[in-house]
Chains A and B, each alone.
Chain A
């Protein structure tokens, strides 16, 4: 196995993991605090990317576009919460699944009508577009490192917010026992709105950060949505710490599995079956991992206490 390739793939895995964390953190909070399955979380990521493209076209400044797109993602998330989701909190999980599935269908097609079906792209900001020399002859795109750094910074901020502020305390309490928090006189509706807005903004931020290296297209949220669910289920629903760990594990396993499965299998079975089975096994790896985790720990690795 080639060491340089391995390092690059580990970094790629970290980058995917960080991206998944940004999406999964919001999902797990919304799920943990409101007991609400939000399948439409993936389209919020997609919208973040689309907003960034639009605001970049208007301002020609990446930073301004990021800030504006974040505000737009927040506003849109709150709009969805206000118009639809808040009527669903006391409903059954099945109702959540269907209503948010309807929103996915609507928005995936809606962006086609607004922005067109063709994939869009967002340029990497000039100053961050180069590559970094990791070792001799090993270059790594700077932007991917920026994503990792920004994600880690966000994780740090989230930690401070959740572990050391009053809002964070309420969020943690809500994740353990929402009804009790409400009974203690906290305006639970407002807390729900705050959590939801936070989640929407985090997903939007993930979309903005990934837009320069991925094509921005309708349906881009669907794949990450399923991955994010895998992450939060492995990590334990409601636990941000679990989401971080789960995201990094999933990111690494998926990326390394995809790049090395064929070569590893070739050692065991012949090269020709390895080429057929390898990619299939690589795509299955994370689901296999999830099934194993749930088999041994039916509520994930770090279940939020009280449930």
Chain B
């Protein structure tokens, strides 16, 4: 088994630079609607809302893969479950976010709990594959939900109301709600990582046997982290369903799970900021390239290969190293 460290060892001074990065990103996100209004490019608001929603999902995957070494290849399922919770409730005429949000999170958390019990018995490649298997199961279940659209998916009549008010239907308000969720998720992950719980969880990635010897029940720590990450995935699914007003089995396809992995690794595994940078880079690149040519995938695929070969440690580390070099010269 390759147990090479997944990211370069953090250099002194790195955590600070990393926090500064995150602050810059949040400032950009906060000011974007103003820029969009002035430049008349109102589509930017919904594009960036999408970026932030995927950032939330990528953050939760970073929690598992980056800090815990648990590479889930079925992470899109949690997103899909959250989205389906919104869609199915709204198909029955319930549009209240105060109901659908807790349900979205609960469903995702329960799925994480049950599958996590099985998945966490395996390690390494087998963990990747078994999470993929559960992902496929959820995907086929969603495809067979004939009353809720089956393969074709389900159109949601309108965005959720918030305590009876149609606030989320305002594009700007919705944008800032998403930003609030992203900020909350970021701070929560930060707190979790630096807590005692987070240290044990990270210790299990470095050396599970040693943590066991020290008296920690590694399995329990990993299961709790898995449920937490699943719940955050459910939150992002709730937001995604409201953003697109549509849910479909494609939300849980293995390709979508692959996209999430790419976002996290492209941005920089185990850095939090990297998850956001990666999601933004991935979605904006996709948007930009597809504006150029219909055949953008022919460019996008090789770009991924090049990124893996030459941007080791992800974008944040790459840019950081570049900035360091400039500062030194």
Interface, chain A (partner B; CB < 8 A): 31, 35, 37, 84, 87-88, 90-95, 97-99, 101-110, 113, 222, 226, 229-230, 233, 237, 276-277, 279-280, 283-284, 287-288, 290-291, 294-295, 298-300, 307
Interface centre among A92, A107, A108 (most CB of B within 10 A): A92
CA distance A102 to B258 in the complex (A): 10
B interface secondary structure, majority: helix
In the complex, B128 has a CB within 8 A of chain A: yes
Query: What residues of B have a CB within 8 angstroms of the CB of A284 in the complex?
Result: 136-137, 140-141
Are B305 and A283 in contact, with the CB atoms below 8 A? no
B126 with A298: CB separation less than 8 A: yes
Q: List 29 A-B contacts (CB under 8 A).
A: A35-B2, A91-B2, A91-B4, A91-B308, A93-B2, A94-B265, A98-B262, A98-B265, A98-B304, A98-B308, A102-B303, A104-B301, A108-B297, A226-B254, A280-B141, A283-B144, A287-B133, A287-B134, A287-B136, A288-B137, A290-B133, A291-B118, A291-B137, A294-B121, A294-B122, A295-B118, A298-B122, A298-B123, A298-B126
Given known pairs A93-B125, A294-B126, the reply for A113 and B258 (CB within 8 Å) is no
| B residues in contact with A108, CB < 8 Å | 297
* Contacts from B to A (Cβ < 8 Å): 1-2, 4, 6, 65, 71, 73, 118, 121-126, 128-130, 132-134, 136-137, 140-141, 143-144, 146, 254-255, 258, 261-262, 265-266, 269, 295, 297-298, 300-305, 307-309
Describe A's contact surface by its main secondary structure: helix
Q: Tell whether A109 pairs with B297 under 8 Å between CB atoms, given A280-B140, A299-B126.
A: yes
Q: Which residues of A contact B262 (CB under 8 A)?
A: 98, 101
Contact A105 B297 (CB under 8 A): yes
Q: How far is the CA of A106 from the CA of B140 in the complex (A)?
A: 26
Query: How far is A35 from B125 in the complex, measured between Cα atoms in Å?
Result: 10
Q: Are A298 and B65 in contact (CB under 8 A)?
A: no
- Give Cα distance in the complex from A277 to B133, angstroms: 19
CB atoms of B126 and A102 under 8 A apart: no
Find the A residue at minimum CB distance from B258. Answer: A101
- Please pick, from B125, B132, B144, B254, the residue contacting A280 in the complex, using a CB distance under 8 A: B144
Rounded to whole angstroms, the CA-CA distance of A90 and B308 in the bound complex is: 13
Q: How far is the CA of A109 from the CA of B300 in the complex (A)?
A: 10
Q: In the assembled complex, how far is the CB of residue B84 from the closest CB belonging to chain A, in whole angstroms?
A: 14
Closest to A237 in B: B125
Most A CB atoms within 10 A — which of B1, B124, B295, B298?
Answer: B298
B134/A105 in contact, CB under 8 A: no
Taking the closest CB of chain A, its distance from the CB of B296, in whole angstroms, is 9
